[in-house]
Amino acid sequence: PTRQVYGRKHLATYCATGEATGIVVIVCEYPNAEQAARGETESNLMFNQMSGHVSKVHKNAVLHVVARSDAPVDDVAKIQGVFRTL
């Protein structure tokens, strides 16, 4: 299930998180692309300490994926692919 999370710590307007088998996904929305890039930088200060973390900026949103070592690599790639189409 997806749930809203506190966006302020990501400098975001809104964030939602969800989980799949071995994968945590967080998507945050920002007022514009510049704020999204700034938010990614700020969030990565925390998330880059976690093994398996990757982030992507697309338009005014940021995707964070944290995958356990046993998570299917193809699933992470699919998540990133869907995000790029939004």
Averaged pLDDT, 5-32:
91
3-state secondary structure of 57: strand
Q: What is the pLDDT of residues 53-76, one digit of tens each?
A: 999 999 999 999 999 999 988 999
Rounded Cα distance between 55 and 43, Å, is: 9
Confidence (pTM): 0.90
β-bridge partners, 56:
63
